[in-house]
Amino acid sequence: MQVGPRLTVNPGGGTQVNSRQSISLDVNGRIASLTIDDPATPLLYVLRNDLGLHGPRFGCGLGQCGACTVLLDGSAVRSCVLPAVSAVGHRVVTLEGLGSPEKPHPLQQAFIDEQAVQCGYCINGMIMQAAALMSSNKNPTDAQIKQALAYNLCRCGTHLRIVRAVSRACCGAA
Amino acid sequence: MNAASLPHSISRREVLKFGGLIVSFALPLPLTAAGNNGKAAADMPKAVAQDRVDGFFAIDRRGNVTVFSGKVDLGTGVRTAITQIAAEELDVPMARVNVIQGDTLLTPDQGPTYGSLSIQNGGVQIRLAAATARRALLREAARRLNIDEQDLTVEAGVVKTKHGNASVRYEELIGSRTLALALEQDAPLKDPNSYTVVGRSQPRLDIPDKVTGRFTYMQDFRIEGMVHGRVVRPPAIGATLLSVDADSVSHVPGLIKVVRRKDFLAVVAKTEWGAVSAARQLKARWSDWQGLPDEDRIWDYVRGTKIVRDDVTSNRGDVEAVLAAADHRLASTYDFAIHTHGSIGPSCAVAVFERGKLTCWSASQATHNLRQQLALMFAMPDTDVRAIYIDGSGCYGRNGHEDAAADAALLAREMDRPVRVQWMRADEHGWDPKGPPTLIDMQAALDAGGNVSAWYSQFYGPDGVAGKVKLVAAELAGMPHEIPMSPGGIIAGMAVPYAFPNVKTLAHRLVSTPLRPSWIRSPGRMQSGFANEAFFDEIAVAANADPFELRRRYLSDDPRAIAVLERLAQLARWQKRSSKASSTAGTASGRGMAFIKYENNRTYVGMVSTVEVVRATGVIAAKHFAVVQDSGQIINPDGVKNQIEGNVVQTVSRTLIERVRFDRSRVTSLDWQTYPILTFPDAPEVEMELIDRPHEKPWGVGEPSAAIVSAAISNAVFDAVGVRLRSVPFTPDKVLAALKTGPNQAKERGR
pLDDT in tens, B185-201: 999 999 999 999 999 99
Is the pLDDT score of B552 beyond 60?
yes
Give the separation between CA A130 and CA A149, rounded to whole angstroms: 7
What's the confidence (pLDDT) of residue B33? 33
* CATH topology agreement for domains B3-195 and B438-749: yes
What's the confidence (pLDDT) of residue A167? 97
The CATH number, out of the four listed (3.40.50.1000, 1.10.10.10, 1.10.150.120, 3.40.640.10), of the domain defined by the range A106-171: 1.10.150.120
Percent of chain B with pLDDT over 90: 88
What's the confidence (pLDDT) of residue B580? 59
Nearest CA in chain B to A60: B425
pLDDT in tens, B281-310: 999 999 999 999 999 999 999 999 999 999
State the burial class of residue B552 (Cβ atoms within 10 Å of its Cβ: 0-12, 13-18, 19+): middle
| C-beta separation of B201 from B639 below 8 A | yes
Burial A65-99 (b: 16+ CB within 10 A, else e): bbbbbbbbeeebbbbbebbbbebeebebbbbbbbb
Q: What is the pTM of this model?
A: 0.93
**Which CATH fold topology does B219-288+341-431 show?**
Aldehyde Oxidoreductase; domain 4 (3.30.365)
What's the confidence (pLDDT) of residue B473? 98
Nearest CA in chain B to A158: B646
Burial B469-498 (b: 16+ CB within 10 A, else e): bbbbbbbbbebebbeebbbbbbbbbbbbbb
Q: In sequence order, which residues have a C-beta less than 8 Å from that of residue B38 and are 6 or more positions away?
A: none
What is the full DSSP assignment across B204-267? Answer: -TTHHHHTTT----GGG---TT-EEEEE---SSTT--EEEEEGGGGTTSTTEEEEEEETTEEEE
Is the pLDDT score of B453 beyond 60?
yes
Q: Kindly indicate the confidence band of residue B349, based on its pLDDT and cuts at 50, 70 and 90.
A: very high
Instruction: Taking residues B51-70, report their average pLDDT.
Output: 93
* Lowest-pLDDT range of A28-32, B163-167, B396-400: B163-167
Is the pLDDT score of B747 beyond 90?
no
Which regions of chain A carry the CATH code 3.10.20.30? Answer: 21-94
The CATH code belonging to domain B438-749 is 3.30.365.10
Q: Would you call B592 helix, strand, or coil by DSSP?
A: strand
Report chain A residues whose CB lies below 8 A from the CB of B209.
101
Q: Kindly indicate the confidence band of residue B576, based on its pLDDT and cuts at 50, 70 and 90.
A: confident
The CATH code belonging to domain A21-94 is 3.10.20.30
Give the separation between CA B541 and CA B32, rounded to whole angstroms: 65
Instruction: Taking residues A62-88, report their average pLDDT.
Output: 98
Is the pLDDT score of A144 beyond 60?
yes
Q: How many CB pairs under 8 A join A and B?
A: 245
Instruction: Taking residues B21-29, report their average pLDDT.
Output: 36
Which regions of chain A carry the CATH code 1.10.150.120? Answer: 106-171
Which has more confidence, B672 or B176?
Answer: B672
Backbone phi and psi for residue B680, each to the nearest 5 degrees, phi listed first: -50, -45
Provide the residue ranges of all domains of chain B, joining segments of one domain with +: 3-195, 219-288+341-431, 438-749
CA B237, chain centre distance (Å): 26
pLDDT in tens, B500-541: 999 999 999 999 999 999 999 999 999 999 999 999 999 999
Give the separation between CA B419 and CA B331, rounded to whole angstroms: 55
Reported ipTM: the value is: 0.93
What's the confidence (pLDDT) of residue B139? 93
Nearest chain A Cα distance for residue B616, angstroms: 24
Nearest chain B Cα distance for residue A89, angstroms: 22
pLDDT in tens, B92-106: 999 999 999 999 999
Q: Would you call B12 helix, strand, or coil by DSSP?
A: helix
Q: In sequence order, which residues have a C-beta less than 8 Å from that of residue B745 and are 6 or more positions away?
A: B538, B541, B542, B724
Looking at domain B3-195, its CATH architecture is 2-Layer Sandwich (3.30)
Which has more confidence, A119 or A172?
Answer: A119
Burial A44-62 (b: 16+ CB within 10 A, else e): bbbbbebbebbbbbbbbbb
Which A residues, 43 through 72, put their C-beta within 8 Å of a C-beta on chain B? 45, 48-49, 53-55, 57-62, 64-65, 67
In B511-645, DSSP assigns E strands to 587-597, 604-614, 619-630
Report chain A residues whose CB lies below 8 A from the CB of B346.
58-59
